[in-house]
């Protein structure tokens, strides 16, 4: 589908035009394959632990203290970064910036590739980014970079990410951290 009609002219790949939809509840997506969440979490941890300059991009839903869950998730993002040996670069603002963002300290959904290029990021996790902005950014990243993208979404997930986990709340993030610790031990990185 992607190469027929209008979407064939897009510089950006669109997963749904290749027949890929968000995973059903209780499941996750690795590329175009629907898998159990634990399998996706293991692969996500492995990608973050083995690729260069892994980075977590936390969005407003975990950066601002909207509610108790947001505060708890923010602490878990920090813990996740420690376990994965990842940097944290926030997407705190969705406004496009003129002339451009400072890619060493921030990421913006309108030109996320600048941050990824600048920091040579080869694996990343989106967490707490509102779904629309995550989807806009993930399409650009997929087209413009070789970064392996992972989306931890509290809603229905993101088919444009290479791994997507849906309905992710604090307890799921804790489970991911445990799985990441296991994978890290298996990789003898401790």
Question: What is the C-alpha R_g of the chain?
Answer: 16
CA distances from 55 to 5, 21, 37, 78, 150 (A): 36, 25, 21, 11, 10
Tokens at 121, concatenated: 């990021």
Q: Which is nearer to other proteins, 98 or 190 (CB)?
A: 98
- Least distance from C-beta 16 to other proteins, angstroms? 4
Q: Which is nearer to other proteins, 3 or 95 (CB)?
A: 95
d(C-alpha 103, C-alpha 81), whole Å: 19
d(C-alpha 126, C-alpha 130), whole Å: 10
- Least distance from C-beta 130 to other proteins, angstroms? 6
d(C-alpha 72, C-alpha 137), whole Å: 25
Q: Which is nearer to other proteins, 16 or 187 (CB)?
A: 16
- Least distance from C-beta 90 to other proteins, angstroms? 11
- Least distance from C-beta 56 to other proteins, angstroms? 18
Site for other proteins, rule CB under 8 A:
7, 10-12, 14-17, 21-22, 60-61, 64, 66-70, 92-100, 109-111, 130-133, 135-137, 139-140, 154-157, 159-160
Q: Which is nearer to other proteins, 56 or 137 (CB)?
A: 137
| Direct distance between the N- and C-terminal alpha carbons of the chain, in angstroms, rounded to an integer | 45
E-state strands within 37-97: 55-58, 87-88
Q: Which is nearer to other proteins, 25 or 188 (CB)?
A: 25
- Least distance from C-beta 13 to other proteins, angstroms? 9
- Residues composing the chain: 190
């Amino acid at each position: 589908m992607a190469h027929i009609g209008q979407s064939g002219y897009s510089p950006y790949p669109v997963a749904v035009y290749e027949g890929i939809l968000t995973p059903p509840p209780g499941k996750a997506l690795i590329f175009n394959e629907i898998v159990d969440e634990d399998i996706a979490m293991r692969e996500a941890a492995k990608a973050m632990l083995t690729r260069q300059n892994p980075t977590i991009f936390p969005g407003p839903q975990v950066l601002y203290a909207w509610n108790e869950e947001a505060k708890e998730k923010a602490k878990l993002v920090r813990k996740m970064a420690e376990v994965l040996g990842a940097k944290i670069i926030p997407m705190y603002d969705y406004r496009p910036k003129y002339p451009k963002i400072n890619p060493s300290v921030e990421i913006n959904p309108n030109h996320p590739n600048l941050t990824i290029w600048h920091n040579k990021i080869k694996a990343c996790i989106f967490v707490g980014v509102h779904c629309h902005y995550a989807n806009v950014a993930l399409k650009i990243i997929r087209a413009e970079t070789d970064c392996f993208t992972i989306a931890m979404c509290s809603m229905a997930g993101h088919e444009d990410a290479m791994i997507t986990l849906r309905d992710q709340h604090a307890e799921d993030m804790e489970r991911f951290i445990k799985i990441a610790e296991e994978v890290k031990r298996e990789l003898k990185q401790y």
